[in-house]
A and B are shown apart, each in its own frame.
Chain A
Amino acid sequence: MAECLLELNSVSFAYGSSIVLQDIDLKVFNNDFIGVIGPNGGGKTTLLKLILGLVKPLKGKIIPGKALQEGSGIGYLPQITTGDNNFPVTVKDVVLSGLMMRKGLISMMTAADRNKASQVIDELGLNDLSGSSLNELSGGQLQRVFLGRAVIGDPRLLLLDEPGNFVDSSFESDFYEKLRLLNKRMAIMMVSHDVGTISSHIKSFACVNRMLHYHPSSEITNEDLLAYGCPIQLITHGEVPHTVLKKH
């Protein structure tokens, strides 16, 4: 049964005097897989930050559903690594930090937490690197560590900001398969400026360029893409899964 996890009610946001998002309405349900697309500077990342509570809306309301309030909340994979990868912290430590949402101020990690972290690290194929520090890792490996951090707490909603940026091609199909499996347990919102890299597992689209247009299922035309000010041309051959959104 579809259960509403999150509702945005005519939310607007501005950096200084420039309005980034205007009157956004969106409902996220428990097994959604929403692709958030739109041009650079269109407000996609800001939308995620609003949902995370990192910035407060100028007006409108963000209403978390029951499941988000009670459960372990929201998992988040940032666009660029906001941390300093030369900081002396191990892969396991970073993955464990995904459990901090449930912990209080005095946050000791239990044996169960450590086992859980080992299991997540194992599933991501990083078990040899568990004790490594981050500056020894490749971009793709780092991205997997951050995915581990985002999902270790079994969140009900997973926010991914441009995950395609770092994922190396050898891991890419694994990565999207992993997302498909995760989607059985949690709703996913995935931001991408490059429609070409968006996974075929996405169930619906939200086009963000100051306004938000929601496409419950899937068709898009080249003219539509141009309307967002992002001249994208997809050149493919062979049988490539594709999605075309309807005009709005």
Chain B
Amino acid sequence: MEVSIFQYEFILKGLLGAVFASITAGIIGTYIVSKRMVFLSGGIAHASFGGIGIGYFAGISPVLGAAVFSILSALGIEFLSVRQKIREDSAIGILWAFGMAIGIIFIYLTPGYTPDLMSYLFGSILTVSYWDISALAIMSVLLILYFGVFYRTILYISYDEQYARTYSPYVNIFKYITTALIALTIVLNIRMAGVVLVISLLTIPPNIAMIFTRVYKRIVVASVLTGFAGTSLGYAISYKAGIPAGASIIFTLVVIWIIAKSINRLAVAMKTAG
């Protein structure tokens, strides 16, 4: 079978998208899983739907709308919880639904049909542009630099914030920067996996990695690799079966997780038996 230009482009986009989605999701995913910020991240992902709706309504890029909206909501939650003015999980729960509500309201107010709304909810490779992929590539470089240069500082603030405060006056600044990067990473990956599913793209790979290692750096690397395996395989399946990419990626990742868990169980059982 000959590969058409269309197919070639599709495969290229899929592969490039998978590479940069895995890098960004692996780095940020390890952070949010280790710091138990998965619920916060899920909240940010859903709240960003408000920004998508506003983007549609105002005629600007929905991704831009989502980026601004999610960074502001993430920083808002961080700010409120640093000051301990509100229960963090309640704040997240409220924001989660509020963002979705705003999104739905604005999309209904937008005249005409919104064709790729489904792709924002569930992700689609068909609507991923080279602009989206470039944005993910830039984000990958940014995250590698940030986490590479400040590795120890970020690691120690994450592990024991109060102790870090005894030697560093920059703890809050790092927390805010990292939170903004989490929000941005989520928004950029929404194009790949969709609002509803993006959180699994971030959380499943580190959980697979943590079955085999508890060293932070190794978890990041292993997450990127498993993420890439899961996303590229998921794309292939979505293409062959004609199902939404986000769903098939998550499905593939969960299958990998189950296999990894089983292998680990078996290895432990053999060790104790032998």
Chain A contacts for B163, CB-based, 8 A:
76, 78, 82-83, 97, 149
Beta-carbon contacts under 8 Å, B155-195 to A: 155-156, 158-168, 170
A203 to B259, CA, bound (A): 60
Measured CA separation A109–B155 after assembly (Å): 13
A105 at interface, CB cutoff 8 A: yes
CB pair A105–B159 under 8 Å, yes or no, is no
Stretch of B10-18, B59-67, B136-144, B146-154 that contacts chain A = B146-154
Asked if A54 and B210 sit within 8 Å, CB to CB, the answer is: no
Do B162 and A78 touch (CB < 8 A)? yes
Known: A87-B35, A107-B152. A100 touches B159 (CB 8 A): no
Residue from the list A84, A93, A97, A106 in contact with B150, Cβ < 8 A = A106
With CB as the reference atom, state the residue of chain B lying closest to A75: B166
B166 touches A52 (CB 8 A): yes
What A residues does B159 contact at CB under 8 A? 83-84, 87, 89, 93-94, 97
Majority SS at the chain B contact face? helix
Q: Are A82 and B214 in contact (CB under 8 A)?
A: no
Interface residue SS majority, chain A: loop
Q: Given that A87-B34, A87-B35, A88-B214 are contacting pairs, would A105 and B166 also be in contact in the complex, using a CB cutoff of 8 Å? A: no
Q: Which of B35, B152, B213 contacts A100 (CB 8 A)?
A: B152
User: Does A101 reach chain B (CB closer than 8 Å)?
Assistant: yes
Q: Report chain A residues within 8 Å CB of B213.
A: 88
A81, A90, A100, A149 — which one has the most chain B CB atoms within 10 A of its CB?
A100
Is B251 interfacial (CB-CB < 8 Å)?
Answer: no
- B216: CB under 8 A from chain A? yes
Are A89's CB and B155's CB within 8 A?
yes
**A84-B36, A88-B214, A97-B163 given as contacts; is B156 within 8 A of A105 (CB)?**
no
| Contact call A88/B219, Cβ cutoff below 8 A | yes
A106-B149 contact given A88-B34, A88-B215, A100-B156, CB 8 Å threshold: yes
In chain A, residues 55-83, which have Cβ atoms closer than 8 Å to a Cβ of chain B? 73-74, 76, 78, 81-83
A133: CB under 8 A from chain B?
yes
With a cutoff of 8 Å between Cβ atoms, the chain A residues found around residue B215 in the complex are 88, 90, 131, 133
Which residue of chain B lies nearest to A108 when distances are taken between CB atoms in the complex? Answer: B152
| Residue from the list B34, B165, B170, B219 in contact with A105, Cβ < 8 A | B170
CB of A107 within 8 A of CB of B166, answer no
Q: Are A74 and B150 in contact (CB under 8 A)?
A: no
Q: How far is the CA of A166 from the CA of B161 in the complex (A)?
A: 21
Which B positions have Cβ atoms within 8 angstroms of A? 34-36, 149-150, 152-153, 155-156, 158-168, 170, 210, 213-216, 219
Instruction: Given contacts A54-B162, A106-B149, A106-B150, list 17 more A-B pairs with CB under 8 A.
Output: A73-B167, A78-B163, A82-B162, A83-B160, A84-B160, A87-B34, A87-B158, A88-B219, A93-B155, A97-B159, A97-B164, A100-B164, A100-B168, A105-B150, A105-B153, A107-B153, A149-B163
Q: Which residues of A line the B interface, CB within 8 A?
A: 52-54, 73-74, 76, 78, 81-84, 87-90, 93-94, 96-97, 100-101, 103, 105-109, 131, 133, 135, 149
What 8 A-B pairs come out closest when comparing CB atoms? Answer: A83-B160, A133-B214, A82-B162, A101-B167, A107-B152, A97-B156, A87-B159, A88-B214
